[in-house]
Amino acid sequence: MTVGWETLNVGEQALVYNHEGEARIEEGPKRLFLWRERFQILKRTAVNQNSYAIVRYNDGQVEHLKGPCVIYENPLHHMFVKAYPMESLDANEALVVYKQDKETNKVTRYVQFGPTLFMPKESEWLHEFCWHGVDPDNKTSMIPNSNRFSRLKIIPDQFYYNVDEVRTADDAAIRVKLMVFYELKDIDTMLNATKDPFSDFINCVCADIIAYASKYTYIEFMEKSSALNDLSNYPQLLDRSKQIGYEISKVVYRGFHTHDKLQKLHDSAVKTRTNLKLAYEKVEQEQEITDMKLKNEKDRIQLEHKLEEENLSHKQELEKDRVRHKLMMELKQEKNVRDVWIQENTASLEGKKLQDAQTLKYYTNLHDLGVDLNGYIQAKAQRPQKIIKVVADKDSANFHLHHT
């Protein structure tokens, strides 16, 4: 018990006990005088909009309060008050939530998908997964029960894994390196069918690889190892992934590793094959260069011949055009001369025809008037410049032509 003054600031609460054990709550800002009383400031818990408070009461009940809010922990009613951040889910995340009915005590399950801020209710709790996880010192190895989480990824993902102690048909021990691409398709199927999907993936991959390698010798395996990129060679993995709600989209074969001595022999053989291949490629390149030179020379000669033929053909075409033009000009000139001659002779004939027509008309008129045309013509005719006489001999059949 104390006697004196006590001060409560803004936003504070206090529990005051009197000498009889009774208690009351005082809220600041306030100044109190205590007389035979005990003073206890209450713990203040502030919850923001991204958090929630779990309040456990003295009678065992639990209450979840969503922020923003302020709670004063009163020991008369509360066992404790704690603030927890709400589960922030991205668009590719989900939570598996269990809920118990207060009346029937029956537990049901549902999946909460993001994006959202999730606050579990008083009767709800989250499923915690415990799967194989990647070894932090070796990304190609898995450690059982090392990956614990409650947020489930529902986007495509991949993991690396090396299958050790794989035996070929001739008993050669090798390590096969793989990369597996997967995607969760059905959460309910996965929850009902498996506890650890990665354990199933690893076991099935090992079984498929061992079955594949046991069919071939070491040399045959090297030659056909690229077929491990084909999903058809992983029947157990595909079947089991479908049963647990997953889809295997691709398996990438990243090579293999064997015993050091065998690896040295293999490296030596690879080196020898590589040198032979390089020598072969060198000779092949030289042959290709020679063939290319000959081909280019042949193409050049053919191009020159073609250019000469085109040049000669061009000259011939020009000569043909020149001769054709000359002939056309001569033909046109002859046609013009012919046309002029036809026009001149046509005009002359037309004039003579008109003149003969007038003469005929003139003589016709004279005949109609009763004129003796023979005498008129003889009188009008002039003395001939030449006279031809034909005299026949009496005693012979010869005749003489006298030209005066």
Domain assignment present for residue 316? The answer is no
pLDDT at 399 over 70: no
Domain count, the chain: 1
Band of the pLDDT at 161, cuts 50, 70, 90? very high
Domain assignment present for residue 331? The answer is no
Domain assignment present for residue 51? The answer is no
Q: How many residues does the chain have?
A: 404
pLDDT at 240 over 90: yes
Q: What is the dihedral of CA 373, 374, 375, 381, to 10 degrees?
A: 100
pTM for this structure? 0.60
pLDDT at 193 over 60: yes
Q: What is the pLDDT of residues 300-357, one digit of tens each?
A: 999 999 999 999 999 999 999 999 999 999 999 999 999 999 988 898 888 888 988 8
- Give CA–CA dist 40/17, Å, rounded: 8
Domain assignment present for residue 158? The answer is yes
Q: How far is CA 211 from the centre of its chain?
A: 37
* Encoded tokens for 50: 């991204």
Domain assignment present for residue 31? The answer is no
Q: What is the pLDDT of residues 358-384, one digit of tens each?
A: 888 888 888 888 877 777 777 776 655
Domain assignment present for residue 92? The answer is no
Amino acid 351: pLDDT: 87
pLDDT at 401 over 60: no
CATH label of the domain that carries residue 222: 3.30.479.30
**Angstrom distances, CA of residue 319 to CA of 192, 307, 313, 328, 329:** 96, 18, 10, 14, 15
Domain assignment present for residue 198? The answer is yes
355 or 3: which leads in pLDDT: 355
pLDDT at 387 over 60: no
Q: What is the pLDDT of residues 57-115, one digit of tens each?
A: 999 899 999 989 999 999 989 999 999 999 999 999 999 999 998 888 899 999 999 99
pLDDT at 234 over 70: yes
Domain assignment present for residue 117? The answer is no
Give the residue numbers spanning the domain of 184. 129-258
Amino acid 252: pLDDT: 95
